[in-house]
Amino acid sequence: MPKRNEELYQAGLKVRREVLGDQYVMPQINAAETDPVAKTLQDMVTEYCWGFGWTDGKLDRKTRSLMTLCILTALDKPQEIKAHTRGALNNGLTREEIAEALRHATIYCGIPAGVNAFRNFREALAEIDAKKK
């Protein structure tokens, strides 16, 4: 297993927790502590995606969240759309802005991908609203 860059890992973990929330991130990190296969993946996600991908300061978090949701729509990744919907809201996007980004992505990614993206966006909002009650 390659040695991780501790500085990028810690920076990535900070952003990952701020964007997605501890309730989503920490169970994955904690489970990886006893599973070497999961640890490899979590180290890579935290260091590379979040540390390298989200901390350079060249794009703000709102822009990165919009881009991420559109890419996940194109790739048809429903579980990630749910997680990143919460992250986008944490990054200051409104529900309307997210819906508009998904509508725009649907035009270019195709109707089936867009239908799935909107379904998971609505499910994520319902989960968020239910926790507020």
Band of pLDDT at residue 32, cut at 50, 70 and 90: confident
pLDDT at residue 83, as a whole number? 94
Taking residues 87-94, what's their average pLDDT? 97
Q: How many residues would you count in the chain? A: 133
pLDDT at 133 over 90: no
pLDDT at 90 over 90: yes
Share of the chain above pLDDT 90, in %: 88
Residue spans of the domains in the chain: they are 6-54, 61-132
Taking residues 4-28, what's their average pLDDT? 95
Is residue 11 within 8 A of residue 51, CB to CB? The reply is yes
Question: Does domain 61-132 sit in CATH 1.20.1290.10?
Answer: yes
Predicted model pTM: 0.86
pLDDT at 2 over 80: no
Each as own residue / partner, the long-range contacts of residues 87-92 (CB below 8 Å, 24 or more positions apart, any chain) are 87/19, 87/20, 87/21, 88/62, 89/128, 90/18, 90/19, 90/20, 90/21, 91/19, 91/61, 91/62, 91/64, 91/65, 92/61, 92/62
